[in-house]
Copies of this chain bind each other. A is one copy, B any other.
C-alpha cells in the first residue's frame, strides 16, 4: 500500500480546505496518508475529523509520493528538502502552475488517476551545487542556480565550463543563471534565454551583461560548471530556484553539475516542457 505524503502552504486558508478534500478522497480509495508535521498540527487545531494518518517531517522521511498543496514556489521549496529521487504532484488552489499540474477542483480526478495509474510522470533533472573550498552542499535546483549581485549592483564573474575547465568566460553585469530544461521556462526565459526541450543540455544565461559573455550558452548537461566572483566584488548571492540564498565571496567557487536525483512530476496530460 502506497503512502502518500501531503505538504501544504500553512498561511492560506484555501490550502487547508484543499488538504481535507484530498485526504478524504485518498482514504476512500485505499491509500495510506501522511501529513507533514505542520499540516498535521493545523488539521488537529482546526477540525475534529478522525482521519487515520501518519505524521512525517520534511526532509527526513520520504513518502512514496508527495502531494504539495500550493503554487510553484511551495513545490520548489519542498523539493529543496530532498536530495534523492522523488515523485511529486502539485495541487494549486487557484489556477494550475507550471509545476502544479492540478487544481483543488480536480482532486477527485487526480485520485482516480492515481488509482488507475493514469498519471503522466515527467522526469526533471536537477542541478547539484557545492560551494568550495568548504564543500557546502546547497539544495538541488529544479529550475536554476543563479549568482547575482545585491540590489541591482553590478558584479564580475568568471565562469568555467568543462571537466578540465578548459573554457573560461568573463561576465560583468547583474549575474548569471544556470538552468535546467524545466528552469528554462522560468527566470531564464525572462532573461531572453532559449527554451530547452531536451534534458541533454543546460543553459547558462547572462543577466544584463555590461561586458563579456553576451549570449546564452547551451552546454551538454554532463559538463561541469564553476562560477567565481571577481575580486573586489562583495555582496554576491547564490540563489537556488529563487527560494534559497547564500552569500558567495571572492575566493569561493560555486561548482555546479547535473545531480543524479531527478524529480518525477505528475501531470494529467503531457509534460509542459517537452
User: Is the beta-carbon distance between B215 and A195 smaller than 8 angstroms?
Assistant: yes
- Taking a contact as CB atoms closer than 8 A, the residue among B217, B220, B237 that contacts A194 in the complex is B217
Cα of A91 to Cα of B124 in the assembled complex, Å = 45
* Nearest CB on B from A212, distance (A): 11
- Taking a contact as CB atoms closer than 8 A, the residue among B152, B194, B201 that contacts A146 in the complex is B152
Copies of chain A in the complex: 4
- Taking a contact as CB atoms closer than 8 A, the residue among B146, B154, B161, B190 that contacts A197 in the complex is B161
- Taking a contact as CB atoms closer than 8 A, the residue among B208, B219, B239 that contacts A208 in the complex is B208
User: Is the beta-carbon distance between A152 and B190 smaller than 8 angstroms?
Assistant: no
In the complex with contacts A192-B192, A200-B198, A201-B198, A154-B218 CB distance below 8 A: no
| A27: Cβ under 8 A from any B Cβ | no
Residues in A144-191 with C-beta less than 8 Å from chain B: 146, 148, 150-154, 161, 166-167, 173-175, 184, 186-187, 189-191
Cα of A160 to Cα of B187 in the assembled complex, Å = 25
* Nearest CB on B from A210, distance (A): 5
User: Is the beta-carbon distance between A217 and B190 smaller than 8 angstroms?
Assistant: no
* A217 nearest in chain B by CB position: B195
- Taking a contact as CB atoms closer than 8 A, the residue among B146, B153, B215, B219 that contacts A198 in the complex is B219
* Nearest CB on B from A230, distance (A): 15
Taking Cβ atoms with an 8 Å cutoff, the residues of A that contact B are 146, 148, 150-154, 161, 166-167, 173-175, 184, 186-187, 189-198, 200-201, 203, 207-210, 215-220, 223, 237, 239, 242, 245, 270, 274
- What 17 additional pairs, Cβ within 8 angstroms, besides A151-B245, A197-B223, A200-B201? A146-B152, A148-B151, A150-B151, A152-B174, A153-B242, A161-B197, A174-B207, A189-B215, A190-B208, A192-B215, A193-B194, A194-B216, A195-B217, A195-B218, A198-B200, A200-B220, A208-B208
Closest 7 CB pairs of A and B: A148-B152, A194-B216, A198-B220, A190-B208, A200-B200, A194-B194, A201-B201
